[in-house]
Chains A and B, each alone.
Chain A
């Protein structure tokens, strides 16, 4: 298991919060305890055995979206505050400290392998020796079955040999909620299922799942024996190779104004800011307009680290703040089920990239 890097955590605890302007949680709550260095200080006190966890401190240290907005201004390139907080929080359970408001979601995870509860509308495609295993993720399954249909339709259109399976959660929620053992079990189960299917490539539209498969599974000793590709890069490849030829949206006006919301993980962790834009530029009839902050300096929608379940009011306030960065006329497009869910407020319509692509064929 990855260990807390004490030197980096202390660098942060000693910093006067030089990145606080980019911490969306701090900006909507105004609460000093959730400032980046505020969380690092609390966590460092516990790590250095100067204080034991209590529920309030654990709650404050859990107030991290994993958006890595803090890295925009952070002078320590090796510091990953999100990870340091995540690894630090894992010790709380051993001390008998947990956050009771997470219990229902953890119970869902244990019982249904999804934090959202019983899975509905399972979308299993099997029967073939598929090369590509497409993983939708719990959030799409729970909130946006239409995007799964769009994905399936695109893959069919491109004649991809793929399958979708009865999914278990990738385990990310268990990790962010400090349940390392549960995360490991889910990872092991997924690894077994993925390996059994014979596919050589795993594609997912969900950045949290992608992050978990590529970066957390190795930490959990469950490295996947498949090539893992993010949705935007995969669909771009299909377009570039001529398997998909997007058309003009027949319902759109002369030029439809589109603004792409960069999901934080795609933009800052995977460093995928060009791929989605390239796709947008390949769809005829769109005028792409950047929101106030974008690319690697994008601002979070509030949906990271399962906040829509664990801290719904904060998630929603952050999404409203982010929406202010888009022009009222623009159709918002994103490439993450959490972002879509979060930004669906104030009467705004939000499409995922796959929805937009699929729409162009109708």
Chain B
């Protein structure tokens, strides 16, 4: 009889008597049907899309298990449940849709996982002020669908749109594929409503800007469940675009493409989608373009006249760097395939370790960071392929997204740690930031001190002030040592 899985990273657990008592009191708050200690529920909320979770799953183990799952329905319930956990010093892990790629939802100390998906209502669409107020557990695709139905877009399309929540985006400072026009989630968020560990509910104002001291609600942006729980947010929306223009180009060298982008961003254009692929990815995604040139795909949208003007400026910039036009079909192809990640599952079944590492570069080191990281990753025994593309561009730089595939044989975990070590070292040595949008989670906590320097201490002090009993999402964002997951 096999009735329990081995846990690899479990740091500790809470006394079962306390958990049972909590379960009883939680049932009075949310109803018994919304409290569960059943194995199916514990197993399904114990991990996210961190590749390590899949490696361990295949070996019959899980990173760590919660002891209880609760499903609050509204802010008030979250507040009461959190205050109760704080009183008893029971660890709490917020859970959205588990699409995080770095172990952010792994309940290292057991305790209670708050599955937030029952908080899934669009509370109001304010057409006059172009704002929407939405609960944090709503699925991204369903959020966008409701906005589209009313004639608007949320402008936020991460590749995980269909498998992530609004709260997950805010908690991880997510970036969507159309971000160059619409902004990242922190640009889109006007105000947040959140609950602190002691049950305090607070929210920001829905005005365009304030100079009334720091925006305390914005402290929660990117806090990955370590400071409190985001229960709802007011976000910017846009009328559905009048016009959309698609264009693809190829460049002889990656550097030429980067320079072209820098020029049109400097000129003030803001195409929604800007993606520049290295020659390998160009060959993979668009076989008819071959694997010797670098493809740039662009999607410009908005008011027709503005779109035409932007297209014209962009055309001048790309031509100045020797671009060859490749029509628009490749952008259509990308639009159709942009959510298809089936290759990851298939490669995993063939024994591969695949991961993506996104970092934030400036123009002066955008290309050298790519080269250095690629070289470092290819230097690890077992690595078969390292490729990259740039997306999410700014006047000051671009996000670089590296994909690495290796066939390490037996010890996949050791290989996994090795590739991350060399990649992070290369990135930090180049002066780039170690994450652009996937966040930190459990795994990248290992490099938080190098990334932030004394800034990490500031974060620790904020954490201590807001979460004195350290109940919130232990061991994430580099806050708390994870004994069983060292470099």
A contact set with B: CB distance below 8 Å? 7, 10-21, 26-27, 29-33, 35, 38, 41-42, 44-45, 48-52, 54, 56-57, 59-61, 73, 75-76, 292
Bound complex: CA A73 to CA B140 (Å): 14
Interface membership of B38, Cβ < 8 A: yes
Against A, the Cβ 8 Å flags (1 = close, 0 = not) of B121-155 are 00000000000000001011110000001000000
Bound complex: CA A20 to CA B115 (Å): 15
A32 and B3: CB pair below 8 A?
A: no
Q: Top 5 nearest A-B pairs by Cβ distance?
A: A30-B117, A56-B38, A50-B60, A75-B342, A60-B40
A14 and B345: CB pair below 8 A?
A: yes
Smallest Cβ distance from A33 to chain B, in angstroms?
A: 4
Q: Which of B335-349 contact A (CB under 8 A)?
A: 339-342, 344-346, 348-349
Q: Which of A16, A19, A30, A44 has the most CB of B within 10 A?
A: A16
Q: Which of B1, B2, B40, B115 has the most CB of A within 10 A?
A: B40
Smallest Cβ distance from A36 to chain B, in angstroms?
A: 10
Residues of chain B with a CB closer than 8 A to A45's CB: 5, 43, 57, 60
Interface membership of B99, Cβ < 8 A: yes
B98 and A16: CB pair below 8 A?
A: yes
Interface membership of B45, Cβ < 8 A: yes
Residues of chain A with a CB closer than 8 A to B11's CB: none
Bound complex: CA A61 to CA B39 (Å): 12
Interface membership of B458, Cβ < 8 A: no
Interface membership of B95, Cβ < 8 A: yes
Contacting residue for A19 out of B54, B117, B162, B348, CB 8 A: B162
Contacting residue for B99 out of A14, A17, A19, A54, CB 8 A: A17
A-B contact count (CB 8 A): 123
Contacting residue for A18 out of B44, B115, B163, B346, CB 8 A: B163
Residues of chain B with a CB closer than 8 A to A49's CB: 2
Bound complex: CA A32 to CA B118 (Å): 11
Residue of B nearest to A58 (CB): B40
Contacting residue for A20 out of B69, B97, B345, CB 8 A: B97
Residue of B nearest to A293 (CB): B145
Residue of A nearest to B72 (CB): A30
Interface membership of B10, Cβ < 8 A: no
Smallest Cβ distance from B484 to chain A, in angstroms?
A: 20
Residues of chain B with a CB closer than 8 A to A29's CB: 118
Besides A48-B60, A61-B40, 14 more A-B contacts (Cβ < 8 Å) are A7-B349, A10-B345, A11-B342, A14-B348, A15-B342, A18-B339, A30-B71, A31-B41, A32-B41, A41-B43, A45-B60, A56-B39, A56-B41, A59-B40
A31-B71, A50-B5, A76-B342 in contact; A11/B349 too (CB < 8 A)? yes
Smallest Cβ distance from A98 to chain B, in angstroms?
A: 15
Bound complex: CA A146 to CA B328 (Å): 56
Bound complex: CA A59 to CA B44 (Å): 13
Smallest Cβ distance from A61 to chain B, in angstroms?
A: 8
Bound complex: CA A56 to CA B43 (Å): 11
Against A, the Cβ 8 Å flags (1 = close, 0 = not) of B68-106 are 010100000000000000000000000101110000000
Contacting residue for B139 out of A10, A27, A41, A59, CB 8 A: A27
Residues of chain A with a CB closer than 8 A to B163's CB: 16-18, 20-21
A11 and B137: CB pair below 8 A?
A: no
A10 and B349: CB pair below 8 A?
A: yes
Q: Which of B1-15 contact A (CB under 8 A)?
A: 1-5
Residues of chain B with a CB closer than 8 A to A57's CB: 39-40, 43
Interface membership of B49, Cβ < 8 A: yes
Contacting residue for B43 out of A10, A42, A59, CB 8 A: A42
Can you pick out 9 interface pairs between chain A and chain B where the beta carbons lie within 8 Å of each other?
A: A12-B345, A20-B162, A20-B163, A27-B142, A32-B41, A33-B41, A48-B60, A60-B44, A75-B341
Bound complex: CA A35 to CA B44 (Å): 9
Residues of chain B with a CB closer than 8 A to A18's CB: 162-163, 339, 341
Residues of chain A with a CB closer than 8 A to B49's CB: 16
Bound complex: CA A281 to CA B112 (Å): 55
Interface membership of B120, Cβ < 8 A: yes
Bound complex: CA A11 to CA B344 (Å): 9
A16 and B160: CB pair below 8 A?
A: yes
B118 and A30: CB pair below 8 A?
A: yes
Contacting residue for A11 out of B3, B40, B339, B346, CB 8 A: B346
A20-B162, A54-B39, A56-B39 in contact; A15/B117 too (CB < 8 A)? no
Bound complex: CA A86 to CA B352 (Å): 29
Smallest Cβ distance from A89 to chain B, in angstroms?
A: 13
A32 and B162: CB pair below 8 A?
A: no
A20-B139, A21-B162, A38-B44 in contact; A14/B115 too (CB < 8 A)? no
Residue of B nearest to A35 (CB): B44
Residues of chain A with a CB closer than 8 A to B344's CB: 14
A13 and B162: CB pair below 8 A?
A: no
Bound complex: CA A41 to CA B98 (Å): 13
Residues of chain B with a CB closer than 8 A to A50's CB: 2, 5, 60
Bound complex: CA A32 to CA B149 (Å): 27
Q: Which of B270-327 contact A (CB under 8 A)?
A: none
B2 and A73: CB pair below 8 A?
A: no
A17-B98, A17-B163 in contact; A33/B348 too (CB < 8 A)? no
A13 and B57: CB pair below 8 A?
A: yes
A52 and B1: CB pair below 8 A?
A: yes
Smallest Cβ distance from B39 to chain A, in angstroms?
A: 5
Bound complex: CA A17 to CA B344 (Å): 13
Residues of chain B with a CB closer than 8 A to A56's CB: 38-41
Residues of chain B with a CB closer than 8 A to A48's CB: 60
Bound complex: CA A52 to CA B3 (Å): 6
Contacting residue for B115 out of A7, A16, A32, CB 8 A: A32
Contacting residue for A21 out of B40, B141, B341, CB 8 A: B141
A32 and B39: CB pair below 8 A?
A: no
Residues of chain B with a CB closer than 8 A to A11's CB: 342, 345-346, 349
Smallest Cβ distance from A133 to chain B, in angstroms?
A: 42
B44 and A33: CB pair below 8 A?
A: yes
Residues of chain A with a CB closer than 8 A to B349's CB: 7, 10-11, 14
Residues of chain A with a CB closer than 8 A to B99's CB: 16-17
Residues of chain A with a CB closer than 8 A to B140's CB: 21
Residues of chain A with a CB closer than 8 A to B341's CB: 15-16, 18, 75
Smallest Cβ distance from A111 to chain B, in angstroms?
A: 31
Smallest Cβ distance from B45 to chain A, in angstroms?
A: 5
Residue of A nearest to B34 (CB): A30
A31 and B115: CB pair below 8 A?
A: yes
Bound complex: CA A52 to CA B40 (Å): 12
Smallest Cβ distance from A296 to chain B, in angstroms?
A: 16
Bound complex: CA A292 to CA B49 (Å): 31
Contacting residue for A33 out of B3, B40, B339, CB 8 A: B40
Bound complex: CA A30 to CA B116 (Å): 8
Smallest Cβ distance from A43 to chain B, in angstroms?
A: 11
Bound complex: CA A7 to CA B39 (Å): 24
Q: Which of B49, B57, B118, B137 has the most CB of A within 10 A?
A: B57
Bound complex: CA A61 to CA B346 (Å): 23
Bound complex: CA A42 to CA B47 (Å): 13
A50-B2, A73-B339 in contact; A42/B160 too (CB < 8 A)? no
